[in-house]
Structure 1
């Protein structure tokens, strides 16, 4: 029996609805496998602005730092579009990543057989299923490098500098190799080494680290080719690891291959086992409070937490299998509904998944 303390940030819009279903599933897993999950709720995002006047209260950071892991709902919405930039709800997400030292973002892209028709690619390309994990460096690179304006050859020009240290590269590659060992033991490092010096350093470090993981098949691919291969032959990939900007783009491309962002979870990890887990979708304020949101991404985020933070493989599989079963039974929320399937609301989908835990 394990005891785990979970910080729960429900967020804005549909965040509280889908997060509640994820918490319900986590409690059911605890009962079945005899684990004790203690939830401590905290505010971040727009709801925190309304309640406390700031998007990321100090109390929330304290709760998160004292927890074993964090469950996060989506934040933001048009209600807070006019607040000062430093206090926009989305700044809470960046603040959480920075304060919790979360440098690695794991974004799976998986196609379930029952939803193969939702994939925009030809059926023969994804026949037999698809299961890719993109590992994106989250706190370095061009998004965090030196930037500004200067006088250039043709007048005023803007610049953004891409920079990576060996330490930053090593720690994200270590995450990629480690998760590959739990999967099919294949890592593709995506870069632009024919042009960028930073990419050449990524390759050098990856080649050196390969010696520590002799079972892993390491390959390299230029980012432009990787973008093409994701739609041409995505099944060739297992784990893809890449820089912040390339990962930002490729993970969104991969998510669209699955046909619905309402199904996709994500994890943000640091050193050790601590992590923050969230669905990749937004707060969808247009359907908030209407029992229409798909809770599957939030529920699968809990499965990722069990797998990557707590190393509870059987418990994670119980959730994944429950999701697979309800989809095979033809149960659907509005975002994935089609003729011949059964339409359910957020709560009803959560209850259907609970029934199979």
Structure 2
């Protein structure tokens, strides 16, 4: 699962962090999605006890680690691997395996962080992180924490990629409380389409055009209610989407300067 997190300068006000901590934030979370505690066996819930099993194999770790290192080569060439190797045997295997894979990528820097320190780093120095590599449970928690940096879940896309067709979807849920009101932020869904172009269809130029159009719309002051300041003019879902589409069709998206 890939979750990019970047903070547009025009939206620093929407984040709970101080603006100076948001400068240059552009990170990619690479989360292993099919193993770990969520799928390990045995699992059981009894009257007075319960059990879940955290399990990973070397091939599972190698596969997701290579995804992270390959991604880092197209970015700032740095991977931060998250584990809890001081207390978990699974994390010890994770760290050993990631370190071994890193030898295949001498041009990419690797650092290991315990998950608790990684959680702190995300709010104290998020711009220092390029690619964050993590197993399933830790990634579930850290990716939601990272989402807060942007100021709204409505802005964030994700991609779940395997051997077959990928799944590209916004991070947010269905939000039934605002269904039919035309005020939902469409940018996370549109950015997910850009990820489909980038990772699913390998159409990098087209993906850049969509991402740049999103950045242009935000820079011009277009806001849905979730990212608007009090008293600031707001646009609806359709209006925001039409503005992005118009810029893509006209080829007028400006460079984001966030990578």
TM-score, with structure 1 as normaliser: 0.67
2:25 to 116, 119, 130: 130
User: Contact between 1:295 and 1:349, CA under 8 Å: does it hold in 2?
Assistant: yes
For residues 271-306 of structure 1, give each alpha carbon's deviation from its aligned partner in whole angstroms, at most 9, with x where no partner exists: 37x311000111111211221111100000011111
- Relative to structure 1, the CA distance from residue 221 to residue 211 in structure 2 (aligned partners, 3 Å threshold; closer, same or farther) is same
Q: CA shift at 1:123, angstroms?
A: 1.8
2:143 to 246, 251, 255: 251
Q: CA shift at 1:339, angstroms?
A: 4.4
CA distance in 1, matches of 2:69, 2:162: 15
Matched residue of 2:121: which SS? helix
Which residue number corresponds to residue 268 of structure 1?
160
Which residue number corresponds to residue 58 of structure 1?
none
For residues 242-295 of structure 1, give each alpha carbon's deviation from its aligned partner in whole angstroms, at most 9, with x where no partner exists: 1110001000000011110010000001037x3110001111112112211111
Matched residue of 1:115: which SS? helix
Which residue number corresponds to residue 315 of structure 1?
206
Matched residue of 1:299: which SS? helix
Which residue number corresponds to residue 228 of structure 1?
120
Matched residue of 1:343: which SS? coil
CA distance in 2, matches of 1:119, 1:139: 31
Q: CA shift at 1:124, angstroms?
A: 1.7
Q: Does 1:147 align with 2:39?
A: no
Q: Which has the larger radius of gyration?
A: 1
Q: CA shift at 1:156, angstroms?
A: 3.4
Which residue number corresponds to residue 192 of structure 2?
301
The RMSD of aligned alpha carbons is 1.5
Which residue number corresponds to residue 332 of structure 1?
223
1:119 to 6, 9, 15: 15
User: Contact between 1:193 and 1:200, CA under 8 Å: does it hold in 2?
Assistant: yes
Question: Please, which runs of 5 or more residues in structure 2 have no aligned partner?
Answer: 249-259
Which residue number corresponds to residue 254 of structure 2?
none
4+ residue runs over 2 A deviation = 339-342
User: Contact between 1:112 and 1:129, CA under 8 Å: does it hold in 2?
Assistant: no
Question: Please, which runs of 5 or more residues in structure 1 have no aligned partner?
Answer: 1-104
Q: CA shift at 1:157, angstroms?
A: 2.3
Q: Which one has the bigger strand percentage?
A: 1
For residues 21-67 of structure 1, give each alpha carbon's deviation from its aligned partner in whole angstroms, at most 9, with x where no partner exists: xxxxxxxxxxxxxxxxxxxxxxxxxxxxxxxxxxxxxxxxxxxxxxx
Which residue number corresponds to residue 347 of structure 1?
238
User: Contact between 1:307 and 1:313, CA under 8 Å: does it hold in 2?
Assistant: yes
Which residue number corresponds to residue 278 of structure 1?
169
Q: CA shift at 1:313, angstroms?
A: 1.5
User: Contact between 1:279 and 1:301, CA under 8 Å: does it hold in 2?
Assistant: yes
Q: Does 1:183 align with 2:75?
A: yes
Q: Does 1:163 align with 2:55?
A: yes
Matched residue of 1:356: which SS? helix
CA distance in 2, matches of 1:149, 1:344: 48
- Relative to structure 1, the CA distance from residue 156 to residue 343 in structure 2 (aligned partners, 3 Å threshold; closer, same or farther) is closer
CA distance in 2, matches of 1:349, 1:149: 46
Matched residue of 1:278: which SS? strand
